[in-house]
Amino acid sequence: MKFEDIKKVGVCGAGSMGSGIIQICAAAGYDVQVLEVSEEAWSRGKKLIEKSLGRLLKKEKITQEEYNNIINRIKFSTDVSEFKDVDFVVEAVFEKIEVKKETYNKLDSVLKDDVIVATNTSSLCITELSSLTNRPEKFIGMHFFNPVPMMKLVEIIPAYQTDEKTIEIAMKFAEKIGKSPVKCTDTPGFIVNRLLVPMFLEATRMVEEGVATPEDIDKAMKLGAGMPMGPCELMDFTGVEISYFVGNIFYEYTKNPYYTPPHLMRKMVNAGFLGRKTGKGFYDYSKKD
C-alpha cells in the first residue's frame, strides 16, 4: 500500500479522542468508517463531532457546504465487516489491553493484508500491542492530543517490529490530516508525558507538603516558565485520574519510586476530585461558569 492509495480510513472508537480523529480525517477529504460498540455509543460520538464542527461553522472557519460534506463522509457501524475496504486504521478504544486485543482480533479477520493499524494508546506498550495483531510490522503508535481538532501534535511511535515504510506512511498521513508529527521510540510516556507527568507528580507533592498553593504553583510556571497553563490547572483540565494512572504505569515499567503517585493524588482520585469534569480538582469549578 502506498500513501497515495489511502482513500478510506477506519476509526475504532468514537469517544473523546476517536470523535476528534474521525472529524479531522473527514475534514482532510477521507471517507471514514467508524466502528463502535453500540448505536448509543456512536450517536454520542456523532454529537461530539457535530458540536465541534458547529463551533467552526459559527466562527466561519468552515462553510455550511463543508460542514455537510464532512458529516456525509462519515459512516458509523457496530459491524467490523464494514472495514473490509478501509486503507488505514486508527484505533481509539478504551485504554484496556483486553479491549484492544479483542478489537485487533476482529480487525485481523476482515482487513486487507497491507493495511496499517495505528493505536492512539497513551500508556500501553506499542510493541506489546503490535504482537497482538497479525501485522506487527504494519502496526504503529499515533498518539494524538486532546482536543484533537485543536492540538497540532502527533507522536509517532514505531513498535520494535514496525517496518520503515509504515513509519513513512504514518508520518505522511499525520501531515495530511493537519498535524505535525514527531517520532519517538517505544518508551513509557513517549515524549510529552515523559516530561509532563513527573512535573504533575511533583506539583501535587508540593501542594501536599504545603510548599505553595495550586494558584501560586500555576502562576509561577506561567510567568516564570512561559507555560500557557500551570501544572495544577492542566491536571484539572485533562483529569487528575489520568496523571495518577500514568504515574502508576511509569512506576510499573521503571520500578523507580519517584513515579509513585503522591497520597494526595490518590485521595483526590478516590474522592472523585478529578478536575473540571467533576466540578472539583485542585480548584473548585462549581461556582464558575
Q: Which of 82, 95, 137, 163 binds ligand NAD (CB under 6 A)?
A: 95
Q: Taking Cα atoms as reference points, which of 201, 198, 165 lies closest to residue 88?
A: 165
**Residue among 36, 155, 233, 241 flagged as catalytic:** 155
Q: How far is it, in rounded angstroms, from Cα 111 to Cα 122?
A: 24
Asked if 120 touches ligand NAD (CB under 6 A), the answer is yes
Asked if 122 touches ligand NAD (CB under 6 A), the answer is yes
Asked if 18 touches ligand NAD (CB under 6 A), the answer is yes
**Residue among 19, 120, 122, 243 flagged as catalytic:** 122
Active site residue 155: yes
Rounded to the nearest whole angstrom, what is the least distance from the CB of residue 51 to ligand NAD in the complex? Answer: 14
Q: No. of H helices and E strands in the chain?
A: 11, 8
Asked if 13 touches ligand NAD (CB under 6 A), the answer is yes
Q: Which of residues 19-48 bind ligand NAD (CB under 6 A)?
A: 35-37, 41
Residue with cell 482487513: 111
Asked if 227 touches ligand NAD (CB under 6 A), the answer is no
Q: Closest CB to ligand NAD belongs to which residue?
A: 15
Active site residue 143: yes
Return the CA Rg of the chain.
20
Residues 176-190 as b/e (b if ≥16 CB within 10 A, e otherwise) read ebebebbebebebbb
* Residue nearer to ligand NAD on the CB measure, 99 or 220: 99
Q: Which of 6, 22, 32, 92 binds ligand NAD (CB under 6 A)?
A: 92
Backbone φ and ψ of 288, nearest 5°: -85, 165
Q: Which of 16, 77, 248, 260 binds ligand NAD (CB under 6 A)?
A: 16
Rounded to the nearest whole angstrom, what is the least distance from the CB of residue 4 to ligand NAD in the complex? Answer: 28
Asked if 97 touches ligand NAD (CB under 6 A), the answer is no
Asked if 142 touches ligand NAD (CB under 6 A), the answer is no
Residues 33-67 as b/e (b if ≥16 CB within 10 A, e otherwise) read bbbbeeeebbeebbebbbebbeebeeeeebeeeeb
The amino acid at residue 250 is F
Question: Within 10 Å of residue 24's Cβ, how many Cβ atoms?
Answer: 19
Find out whether 52 and 59 touch, Cβ atoms under 8 Å.
no
Contacts with ligand NAD by CB under 6 A lie at 12-18, 35-37, 41, 92-95, 99, 102-103, 120-122, 143-144, 146, 238
- State the catalytic residues: 122, 143, 155, 193
